[in-house]
Amino acid sequence: MAANSYELFDLDSELAQVTGVNSFRMGIEWSRVEPERDSFDPHEIDHYRAVIESIHSRGMKPFVTLHHFTNPLWIANSGGWLNPEVVSEFADYARRMAEAYGDIVDEWITINEPVVYAVGTYWAKLYPGGSLLNMENAKTALRI
Summarised one tens digit per residue, pLDDT across range 12-41 is: 999 999 999 999 999 999 999 999 999 999
Q: Please say if the pLDDT value at position 126 is more than 70.
A: yes
Instruction: Give the count of beta carbons closer than 10 Å to the beta carbon of residue 39.
Output: 9
Q: Quote the pLDDT of residue 129.
A: 79
Where do runs of H (alpha helix) occur along 19-134?
30-33, 42-57, 73-77, 86-101, 114-122
Better-predicted residue by pLDDT, 57 or 130: 57
pTM above 0.85, yes or no: yes
133 pLDDT tier (thresholds 50, 70, 90): confident
- All domains of the chain, ordered by start, with CATH? 9-112 (3.20.20.80), 114-144 (no CATH)
How far apart CA 59 and CA 13 sit, in angstroms, is 10
Quick one: average pLDDT of 100-124?
A: 94
